[in-house]
Amino acid sequence: MIEFEHTGFTYDGETFVLRDIGLSIPQGQFVCILGGNGSGKSTLAKHINALLVPDEGTVTILGHDTRDETATYLIRSNAGMVFQNPDDQLVASLIENDVAFGPENLGVPTDKLRERVTLSLDEVGLQGFEKHETNALSGGQKQRVAIAGVLAMNPRILILDEASAMLDPRGRRGLMRVCKELNERGMTIVMITHFMEEAGLADRVVVLDGGTIALDGTPDEVLVQTEKLDHLNLDVPFACELSRELQKRGVPVSTHVDDQSLEEELCQLLSNR
């Protein structure tokens, strides 16, 4: 569904921000992309909806080469994107107008538009917010409106480019819940983030470093590589860190990614005596 083959990209023609990326994401997968500043993760995301096209190699989305200009709008309507700053991406002052912006651009007939707006707002948990003003919303709500605006185009891929970076914990949890629900209904999700607890919930974690893929696998495979994550200037999930600290102190626990499973093991270990 999303295919990167030997993809390279440079902004200035000299330094490559992406180098020889090979990445294949099947339909319905929840992928988190991690990486420090300058690792190329946002650049990679912008290749998925043809905001950027590769200088080397190819990117194929739903069977269409992103360099094929006739397919650009097809790709963009199928791969919606939510950006970092909630204040920068809402076009209209009224929520319903903003949500309708995408499908309006696609030429969806008026009688279908209303339906799409209502459905999309339902899906992000903002039923009945049609007539509210975007300015009066909290950051988390704005991001959900942005997702609704994307959903109204009926996409199959949702890309979140550090969409939770500027939110408070409550907003972040809400955003994650919406993404999980969408994913359960078959949406492919590509989430750029640097919050480890979010990465822990994904099906797959891809870590970028200097424009190349440094690690790729399930959270259990990737997030336990604590030394490597440290080296890449990334956080280590709390459960991993605690497991590591306990191992240092001679407590025989395995390395966990998820708090819940660590808790279970500790509980067994300590209460069976």
Q: Residue 76 or residue 204: which is nearer to another protein going by CB?
A: 76
Region class of 217: left (phi > 0), else alpha (psi between -120 and 50), else beta: left
Among 21, 25, 31, 100, indicate the residue that binds another protein (CB under 8 A).
Answer: 100
- Nearest CA to 130 out of 84, 96, 174 is that of 96
Give CA–CA dist 65/75, Å, rounded.
Answer: 9
Q: Which residues ranging from 67 to 86 are in contact with another protein (CB under 8 A)?
A: 73, 76-77, 80-81, 83-85
Q: Residue 54 or residue 155: which is nearer to another protein going by CB?
A: 155
- Nearest CA to 43 out of 164, 215, 210 is that of 210
Among 58, 60, 97, 118, indicate the residue that binds another protein (CB under 8 A).
Answer: 97
Q: Which residues ranging from 213 to 232 are in contact with another protein (CB under 8 A)?
A: none
Give CA–CA dist 52/136, Å, rounded.
Answer: 33
Q: Residue 91 or residue 254: which is nearer to another protein going by CB?
A: 91
Give CA–CA dist 137/146, Å, rounded.
Answer: 12
Q: Which residues ranging from 28 to 47 are in contact with another protein (CB under 8 A)?
A: 36-37, 46
Q: Residue 110 or residue 185: which is nearer to another protein going by CB?
A: 110
- Contact region for another protein (CB under 8 A) — 20-28, 118-126, 206-214, 242-250? 242-250
Run of H or E including 95: helix 95-106
Q: Which residues ranging from 155 to 214 are in contact with another protein (CB under 8 A)?
A: 165-166, 168-171, 194
Q: Residue 114 or residue 180: which is nearer to another protein going by CB?
A: 114
| Closest approach of another protein to the CB of residue 182, in Å | 17
Q: Which residues ranging from 109 to 148 are in contact with another protein (CB under 8 A)?
A: 109-110, 113-114, 117, 131, 133-136, 138-140, 146
Among 7, 29, 43, 49, indicate the residue that binds another protein (CB under 8 A).
Answer: 49
Distances (CA, A) of 97 to 69, 77, 104, 163, 215: 28, 17, 9, 21, 41
| Closest approach of another protein to the CB of residue 185, in Å | 21
Give CA–CA dist 7/55, Å, rounded.
Answer: 7
| Closest approach of another protein to the CB of residue 232, in Å | 9
Cβ contact 240:256 at 8 Å: yes
End-to-end CA distance of the chain: give it in Å, rounded: 51
Give CA–CA dist 241/256, Å, rounded.
Answer: 9
| Closest approach of another protein to the CB of residue 240, in Å | 10
- Contact region for another protein (CB under 8 A) — 16-24, 180-188, 213-221, 260-268? 260-268
